[in-house]
A and B are shown apart, each in its own frame.
Chain A
Amino acid sequence: MKTEHNVPVNGRIRVILPEDMSIETSSLVNNCFRLDKSNRQTRLDCTANSSNNSFEVMVRSSTFGINGLQGNEQFQVQVSGFRNPKEVSVTVAFKIQSFDDSERLIDESDPSSGFTITMKSIGRLGSITVIPASATNGAATTYGFRVVPGVTISFGD
């Protein structure tokens, strides 16, 4: 990504995930890196906020230099700990904001700026076991289904 304006030291970049995604907080905090042009990793100071489905990259002098992140400077971050949207063929968008060290908004992504993803392939249910209560042929009986879903099931699914 590139920001239009500078983000000073102790400012932050906030990435708000689409509603249908979620964050595994500890995984994200421990696996948040800046990648240089050769894809070498530098660990970043990142925080995750699962309540508003966002994470923040803190702009520290140790990783961004004493002038912080410069406007129009290519910035690549690699983070782990996301759960993909569960619906396929639905395009969802990320929102990206930058703030100064006093929490004042500097830049904000435009909804049409293309920070979107679309799931292409459907996930598989982990496993299903079927247990008939009766093994007698032709009997009207109760069938138990034990399911390991592999995806989050929400109200109304």
Chain B
Amino acid sequence: MLPTTYYVQCDGDSNIVVSNCVKTDERALLITFATVSSRYNSAEPFSFFVRGVSNPASFKESGPFSNIKLVSRSGNEIAKFEDSRLTIKNSIKSSIANFSLR
């Protein structure tokens, strides 16, 4: 996970509900799901959204996202994801907010 701002908020899509979303350190999130069980099954993809992530400051390729795991309610790992291609790269330069010469 990338660095996050102080306030982080998570949402699920129509298939899955995020019941809790907490930062466990500056770069990690623990997201707890409450499924919409009547609609959800293992074959269906789902999406979740994390608000309050700080994009990398540089234009280098960042990542990969690492240590993405699904953990059961009893704390046992049930699936993990490791893909070195899961990276991001900024493409737009930020504007300088204010600049003055004296």
Which chain B positions have C-beta within 8 A of A156?
32-34, 72-73
- Tell me whether A72 is interfacial, beta carbon within 8 Å: no
Q: Find A154's partner among B46, B72, B80 (CB 8 Å cutoff).
A: B72
Tally A-B pairs: CB < 8 A.
147
- Tell me whether A124 is interfacial, beta carbon within 8 Å: yes
Cβ contact within 8 Å between B92 and A140: no
Interface band, chain B: 35 or more
- Tell me whether A114 is interfacial, beta carbon within 8 Å: no
Interface band, chain A: 35 or more
Cβ contact within 8 Å between A122 and B53: no
Cβ contact within 8 Å between B47 and A146: yes
Cβ contact within 8 Å between B54 and A139: yes
Cβ contact within 8 Å between B70 and A87: no
- Tell me whether B28 is interfacial, beta carbon within 8 Å: no
* With A125-B81, A146-B47 as contacts: A132 and B55 at CB distance below 8 Å: yes
Cβ contact within 8 Å between A137 and B59: yes
Cβ contact within 8 Å between B55 and A134: yes
Cβ contact within 8 Å between B49 and A143: yes
Q: List 25 A-B contacts (CB under 8 A).
A: A86-B78, A87-B72, A87-B76, A88-B77, A88-B78, A90-B76, A122-B80, A124-B81, A128-B68, A130-B88, A132-B55, A136-B55, A136-B90, A136-B94, A137-B93, A137-B94, A139-B54, A141-B53, A145-B47, A149-B42, A149-B46, A153-B42, A153-B46, A155-B33, A157-B35
Chain B contact residues, CB within 8 Å of chain A: 2, 5, 16, 32-35, 37, 40-42, 45-59, 65, 68, 70-74, 76-83, 86, 88, 90-94
